[in-house]
Amino acid sequence: NAGVMQNPRHLVRRRGQEARLRCSPMKGHSHVYWYRQLPEEGLKFMVYLQKENIIDESGMPKERFSAEFPKEGPSILRIQQVVRGDSAAYFCASSPRTGGESDTQYFGPGTRLTVL
Amino acid sequence: DAKTTQPPSMDCAEGRAANLPCNHSTISGNEYVYWYRQIHSQGPQYIIHGLKNNETNEMASLIITEDRKSSTLILPHATLRDTAVYYCIVRVASSGGSNYKLTFGKGTLLTVNP
């Protein structure tokens, strides 16, 4: 049973370019969460999505960041016009549903974004 | 969600039991205790969770005190591969609200020594 998959694992961008991070949830999971881990810091919640819906994006920076989880295909975290401060590890997690014990979140291996 | 307090670091000898404490004195009756770990440069790995009763799975045991104000994660036979940062998180496991936001503190860096 494949776990949460993220790609690419490492991404290098120059300032001003766009970064696209992909997340495929575990089979049977319809809830996706994105977290960011800045160097030497803990993970911080960014956004929670269900298929075709953004449920909570309260942790997303107001500008340049967007996320989607289309009906078909992986969830995408998109960062436009990247800056050096966006350099971080971005982790995706998925759960079968929210509410109750069965909403345990399982994390992917992360995408390490480096902005030059 | 209730806040948690963990020691910043611990050492354990390989093959011995590792006992990682967590204080959560403000935990509410409907909040679960979850444990994750993060091995260097990897994604957080779910370990175990519990509400009131002690829990055991193939990875670890979770002992929750009767008043639920603290808990201990036990790795019965630590190996070098268990060296990681261990996070204790409390969260409401019910629908509604924003209980889905996991709040990661600084955790405990467990170093297993040969």
- Both tokens of A49, joined, read 């999505």
pLDDT class of A101 with cuts at 50, 70, 90? low
Q: Provide the number of CB pairs (under 8 Å) joining chain A to chain B.
A: 66
pLDDT class of A14 with cuts at 50, 70, 90? very high
Q: Which residues of B fall within a CB distance of 8 Å from A45?
A: 101-103
Average confidence (pLDDT) over A49-76: 93
In the numeric block, the tokens 């060296």 are attached to B83
Average confidence (pLDDT) over A52-72: 93
Selected residue of B101, B103, B106, B108 to mutate for chain A interface (largest A Cβ count, 10 A): B101
The minimum CA-CA distance between B12 and chain A, rounded to whole Å, is 23
C-alpha distances (whole Å) from B15 to each of B12, B111, B112 are 9, 13, 9
Nearest to A91 among B43, B105, B107 (CB): B43
C-alpha distances (whole Å) from B86 to each of A1, B7, B79 are 25, 10, 15
SS3 for chain A, per residue?
A: CCCCEEECCEEEECCCCCEEEEEECCCCCCEEEEEEECCCCCEEEEEEEECCEEEECCCCCCCCEEEECCCCCCEEEEECCCCHHHCEEEEEEEECCCCCHHHCCEECCCEEEEEC
Q: Is B98 on the interface with A (CB under 8 A)?
A: yes
Q: Is B42 on the interface with A (CB under 8 A)?
A: yes
pLDDT(A102) > 80: no
What parts of chain B have a pLDDT lower than 70? Answer: 1-2, 93-98
Closest residue on chain B to A46 (Cα): B101
pLDDT class of A42 with cuts at 50, 70, 90? confident
* Rounded CA separation B16/B34 (Å): 23
Nearest to A45 among B41, B44, B102 (CB): B102
Q: Is B49 on the interface with A (CB under 8 A)?
A: yes
- Specify the pLDDT at position B16: 96
- Specify the pLDDT at position B94: 59
* Rounded CA separation B49/B63 (Å): 10
The minimum CA-CA distance between B56 and chain A, rounded to whole Å, is 15
- Specify the pLDDT at position B57: 95
- From chain A residues 62-81, the ones with a CB under 8 A of any chain B CB are none
C-beta neighbour count of B82 within 10 angstroms: 19
